[in-house]
Amino acid sequence: MDILIQASQFFLSLSILIILHEFGHFAAAKSFGMRVESFYLFFNPYFSLFKKKIGDTVYGIGWLPLGGYVKIAGMIDESMDKEQMAKPAEDWEFRSKPAWQRLIVMIGGVTVNVILAALIYWMVLFVYGETYLPTKNVTYGIMVDSLGQEIGLRNGDKIITLDGKEVENFSKVPMEIILNDVKTIQVDRDGQIVDVQIPEGMMSELIKAPGLISVRIPFYVEKFAPGSVAEAAGFVKGDQIVGLNDNSIMYFDAFKTALQEFKGQEVNVNVLRDGEAKSIAVSVPEDGLLGVYPKGDLAEFFELEELKYGFFESLPKGIEKAGQTLVNYVKQLKLLFSPKNKGYESLGGFLTIGSIFTTTWDWNHFWNITAFLSILLAVMNILPIPALDGGHVMFLLYEMITGRQPHEKVMEVAQVVGMVLLFSLLLFANGNDIYKHFFK
């Protein structure tokens, strides 16, 4: 059921973005008197799930959910309609229009995606506002994985600044470290200010470490895994785990680490239940896990910052958020394709994108992710790769500067090369997904 909910959100978001992206091309083309022959959600090799002709345009839904398209008469695109291109140009064709009009048509989809992201952020900020955990309020310090420890951080450190600059929103700390190539992290460690120097050459590893830094929390039992030995031993929801064999352990990460030393042994776990201290004997399995999920609602442990905006006040905030998302994604893209950082190893496909949606239907999260994907779609489409909008823009700019159109044969070859590159990238990204999810 969880996978079904995630998949439903993914396809709804994808459908909205594709339709509006293609509408950007469609509306611009129609406004300049161009004939649009097809408008499709998803691709339709061999057959369509639905199609209906209205006026000069066939509107349809394909069966291959890898994107969508509008087919504009007189344009060299993925349809590779050489027969039409061999005929004399008509006034209503793409190739007959001035270069500046064709340029507007080609950037129409990307423009709509950026505007859409700003509008979504505007409405999300107006309806839901913003709630975040200020870095200064992370009173129990941080929890780091093995890579975090390798760069010099420790569980319980309290982050003060990154390269001497404060980061207000704690959730942005890992991304700030990666995107801005942070060199030093200033932390409060047991009351002492420590300057953690990030070793050279770590960026390729940091990119692949989504759990680098997280919030340290007290250990309250939230629920149990199927077959949990803790549940069988008498633990109940709401128990606060405070020790192991009468040694005080207050935090989830510390308890999980300490338990690894007692695999296959019986231990006494110290808990507080409704204020009363108890000791529960439990046999630790060979995997060192008791089958307990901790309570993870940050609002129960920390003071969160809640911001509310009026209708007009949220508009510039939405535009600002869309702009910052755009800048951050461009930075991510540079890291992703940097041979030195090996960011391509983190490249993901549909499984990765689908996994960022929640397993419950949360409209706030859904619209935030949709706005982010709209920016992603805009950036990816404007890349100067033949077969993408950016490839067409590149050739149009060449024409506007030189006054000469590229030869049709050049355009056709570029289109084929671009499609090969795109499908190769698609196969690599989804192959990466399959490897990471099923073989790693």
**Residue from 95, 86, 80 nearest 32 by CA:** 95
Domain boundaries, the chain: 2-126+368-438, 135-215, 219-295
pLDDT value, residue 385: 81
Q: What does the pLDDT look like over 82-116, one tens digit per residue?
A: 556 666 667 888 888 898 999 999 999 999 999 99
Structure tokens at 252: 């989830």
**Residue from 294, 285, 282 nearest 244 by CA:** 282
pLDDT value, residue 386: 78
The CATH number fitting domain 219-295, selected from 3.40.50.300, 3.40.50.20, 3.50.50.60, 2.30.42.10: 2.30.42.10
pLDDT value, residue 227: 87
Distances in Å between the alpha carbon of 365 and those of 13, 359, 361, 362?
11, 11, 8, 5
What is the pLDDT tens value at each position of the chain, 440 positions in all?
A: 667 888 888 889 999 999 999 999 999 999 999 999 999 998 888 889 999 999 889 999 999 888 888 999 887 665 545 556 666 667 888 888 898 999 999 999 999 999 999 999 999 999 999 999 999 999 999 988 888 888 888 888 999 999 989 999 998 888 888 888 888 999 999 889 989 898 877 766 676 666 678 899 999 999 888 888 888 888 889 889 999 898 898 898 888 888 888 888 898 989 999 888 989 898 888 888 888 899 888 888 999 999 999 999 999 999 999 999 998 888 877 766 665 555 555 555 555 666 677 777 888 889 999 999 999 889 888 888 877 888 888 888 888 888 887 776 766 676 666 667 666 666 655 555 454 555 45
Nearest-angstrom CA–CA distance, 115 and 227: 49
Structure tokens at 16: 């909205």
pLDDT value, residue 148: 81
Nearest-angstrom CA–CA distance, 91 and 43: 28
What sections of 92-237 are H helices per DSSP? 99-128, 146-150, 173-179, 203-207, 229-233
pLDDT value, residue 322: 94
Burial of 185 (0-12, 13-18, 19+ CB in 10 A): buried
Instruction: Please state the φ and ψ torsions of residue 47, each to the nearest 5 degrees.
Output: -160, 165
Task: Report DSSP state, residue 200.
Answer: T
Burial of 81 (0-12, 13-18, 19+ CB in 10 A): middle
pLDDT value, residue 74: 81
Distances in Å between the alpha carbon of 381 and those of 142, 144, 413?
38, 36, 19
**Residue from 108, 61, 43, 118 nearest 374 by CA:** 118
pLDDT value, residue 265: 87
Q: What is the CATH number of domain 135-215?
A: 2.30.42
Task: Report DSSP state, residue 403.
Answer: S
Residue 218 contacts residue 251 (beta carbons within 8 Å): yes
- Identical fold for domains 135-215 and 219-295, yes or no, is yes
